[in-house]
Chain A
C-alpha cells in the first residue's frame, strides 16, 4: 500500500513535468541533435539532395579566415563588455539603494536602456556615431577634437559597439543587484557599525560575499548576451567594414540565411554551443564553489 502511494506520487510528478519536458525536447534538444546531424551533410539546394561528407564542414571551418576573425572579435567584445557592465551595474545599484532624492527616477533612468527595443537602440546609436552630424562627433569637435568616422574605421567600430552594449546591459544587471542588496538584512549593517567596521570593510567582507550568487547569475547572463548580439549589427554595421565588427552569431545568420548554406551554419552553431557549454561548465563547477557564503 505504502509502495503503491509512492509510485503513484512519482507518476503524478512525472505527469506534471511532462508538458515542460516535451517542450524542452521539442525546442531545445531535438534542434541541437538535428543541427549536429546536418553539420555532417552538405546543404540541399533546389534539386540537389543533402549528401554525407563527414567532417568536411569542420575542416572548412579551420581554413575559414572570416570565422577566426569573428571568433577573435567576439572574444574582444566579451572581454570588453562583461566586466565593465557588471561592475557598473553594481556601482549603480549601490548608489540607488542608498538614501537619494528622487530615487525612483534615477532607478528608472538607469533601467530605460533595457526596455527600449533593440532596433530602436541601434538606430539611435547609429546616428550618435555618424560623423559630423552625430552626437559623439558634435561633442568631440566642441572639445577641439577632430571629426572621426566611428563606425567606418575598423579600429574604432568594435569599441563603439562595446560602449553601446555596456550602456544597454548595465541597467539590466543593476536590477538584479538592487534586488539582492535589498535582501541583505539591515541587522548586519547595524551589527557591523557596533563592531566599528568601516563602510569599505563592510562592503568587502559582508556585502560582496552575500552578492556572489547574484554575481554568478549576472556573469552567466552577460556571457550569453555577449554571444547573442546580432540585431544591432544589422542596423549599424552589417558586420563591416571588412568583418571588423562581425560577431559569431551574426556570421552564423549570414551563412545560414544570406548564403543559405545551412550545413556550414550548423557547423558554426555546434562550435558556438560547445563554446557556451564550456563557459557555463567552468562558471558552474569552479566558481559556484566559491560563491556560497557559509
Chain B
C-alpha cells in the first residue's frame, strides 16, 4: 500500500516537472472576418507555416464571425474560464477591453530593445487605435481604410476619363449625376454611388467628417463631437446624395450585399473597405479602379480593422509564446503576403519594402491606394462603452438617411446620449 502511494506521488511529481516550459505551449485565438474572400484558408495556411518553424507552440485559431461576434465570443470564453490567450479583435474595442480589465499592454510583455523597436515599426496612423494612456495595447494586423472602387467601363460610357476619379465632393456629385443611368421610363438602371450604411455606418461617417476636417472623438475615448457643425454638415451631405442629388438610393444601403451590386454593375462607384480588394479583383467582369476618398476641406478616411490583443489571464510562458506568434504574423514578409491575399494594408513600411509587395504594387497600383491614404488617415470612432456610443451614432445616421429625422436633431440627440455615457470616464 505504502509503496504504491509513493509510486503515485513520484509519478505525479514527474508529470508536474515535465509540464514546465519544456513542453509545448497551446494558444487559442479567435479571429473575425468582415470582408469577402477565403480568409480563413489564408490564416490556416499561415498558422501551419508558423507551427512548422516553432514546433513548441501550438496555435488553435477559431473563426468567430464578424468583429462584434468575435468580441462577444472572446469575452464570454474568458468569463467562462475557457483558455483563450490572444485574439484578433476590433481595434476600436480597445477602451472596452481596458475597462473590462482583460488585456495586457504589449509594453509589459516585450523585454528586449529589438522587441521595442518592433512595436515602433508600424504606421503611426494605425497605432492611433492601438495605443492609449501611453501604452500599446493592440498590434495592427488586418487593418484597412475606406477606399473608393469605381467601374472604369461605366466612366467611359458616361464620357468621363476612367483615369481621373473624383477628387472632391463636388466632382463626385457631378460625375455621379453623369454616371447614374436611367431607362426610358425614368427608372434607375445604374446608380452613380453607394456608401453602405448598415454594419459600419459610423465608419463611413467618420470618413465624411474627416474630409470636412472634423474628427468624431478625442484620443482618450471620453468625449465625442457629434453635434459639431462640421459633423452635421457631413451628415447633411450624405443624406443629400440620395435626396437632393439623386446619385445614390434613399434609405440605408446594405454592407453585405454591396460588393455584389458593384460587381453586377448596379453602381458605378462604391465606398468600401480595402479588405475587399482581392475578392473584387478576382471577380470583377469589368475594368475597375481604386481611388482615395474625395476631399471637402481635406482628404481623409478613418483606419479600420483588427488588432492582436493578448489577454491578462495568461501565464508568463503563454505571454512569451503569444509575443513570438504575433511578431511572426506581423513580420514584413507575412504582412506583405497577407496584404496581397486580402487587400488589407501592409502594416509597416518594411512590408511595402519587401520585394514581393513592391512588385505587386507596381503591377497593380490599386493595391497601394490604401497605404498612400494612410497619410490622411485618422483613428476610427473608439470610446469607452464603444458599442453603446457607436450605436447611438449609427441610429442617428440611419434615422437621417431613412428620412425619419433632420441631421441637426439626430446628431444632437446622439451627442446627448454619448455625453450621458462618457461623463463617468472623465
Q: Which residues of A contact B (CB under 8 A)?
A: 45-47, 126-127, 130-134, 141, 146-147, 149, 151-154, 235, 237-238, 240-244, 254, 257-261
- Complex Cα–Cα for A261 and B391 (A): 14
From A46, A238, A257, A261, contact of B198 by CB (8 A): A238
Residues of A within 8 A of B199 (CB): 238
Residues of A within 8 A of B136 (CB): none
- Nearest chain-B residue to A243 (Cβ)? B395
Residues of A within 8 A of B256 (CB): 126, 235
Q: Which of B311-350 contact A (CB under 8 A)?
A: none
- Complex Cα–Cα for A154 and B254 (A): 13
Q: Is the CB of B402 within 8 A of A257?
A: no
Please give the distance in Å from A180's CB to the nearest CB on chain B.
Answer: 40
Q: Is the CB of B198 within 8 A of A240?
A: yes
Q: Is the CB of B75 within 8 A of A260?
A: yes
Q: Is the CB of A260 within 8 A of B198?
A: no
- Nearest chain-B residue to A156 (Cβ)? B251
Q: Which of B203-219 contact A (CB under 8 A)?
A: none
- Complex Cα–Cα for A288 and B99 (A): 51
Q: Is the CB of B252 within 8 A of A152?
A: yes
From B72, B100, B388, B399, contact of A241 by CB (8 A): B399
* Residues of A contacting B: mostly: loop
Size bracket, chain B contacts:
35 or more
Q: Which residues of B contact A (CB under 8 A)?
A: 68, 72, 75-76, 96, 98-102, 187-188, 197-199, 249-254, 256-257, 260-261, 264, 266, 385, 387-388, 391, 394-396, 398-399, 401-402, 404-405
Q: Is the CB of B391 within 8 A of A258?
A: yes
Q: Is the CB of B266 within 8 A of A241?
A: no
Task: Tell me which of B75, B187, B388, B398 has the highest count of chain A C-beta atoms within 10 A of its own C-beta.
Answer: B398
- Nearest chain-A residue to B264 (Cβ)? A133
Given A152-B253, A240-B398, CB of A146 within 8 Å of CB of B187: yes
Q: Is the CB of B398 within 8 A of A47?
A: no
Q: Is the CB of A242 within 8 A of B261?
A: no
The 6 A-B pairs of least Cβ separation, nearest first, read A152-B251, A46-B101, A241-B398, A149-B251, A152-B252, A258-B387
From B99, B197, B388, contact of A46 by CB (8 A): B99
Q: Is the CB of A133 within 8 A of B260?
A: yes
Known interface pairs A130-B260, A152-B251; 12 further A-B residue pairs with C-beta atoms within 8 A, sorted by A's residue number: A46-B99, A126-B254, A130-B254, A133-B266, A149-B251, A149-B252, A240-B395, A241-B252, A254-B387, A257-B75, A260-B96, A260-B387
- Complex Cα–Cα for A257 and B249 (A): 32
- Complex Cα–Cα for A141 and B189 (A): 11
- Complex Cα–Cα for A126 and B259 (A): 13
Q: List 24 A-B contacts (CB under 8 A).
A: A46-B99, A126-B256, A132-B264, A132-B266, A133-B261, A146-B187, A149-B250, A149-B252, A152-B249, A152-B251, A152-B252, A153-B402, A240-B395, A241-B198, A241-B251, A241-B398, A242-B395, A242-B402, A242-B405, A244-B402, A257-B72, A258-B391, A259-B385, A259-B387
From A126, A146, A149, A242, contact of B398 by CB (8 A): A242
Residues of A within 8 A of B254 (CB): 126, 130, 151-152
Residues of A within 8 A of B96 (CB): 260
Please give the distance in Å from A165's CB to the nearest CB on chain B.
Answer: 19
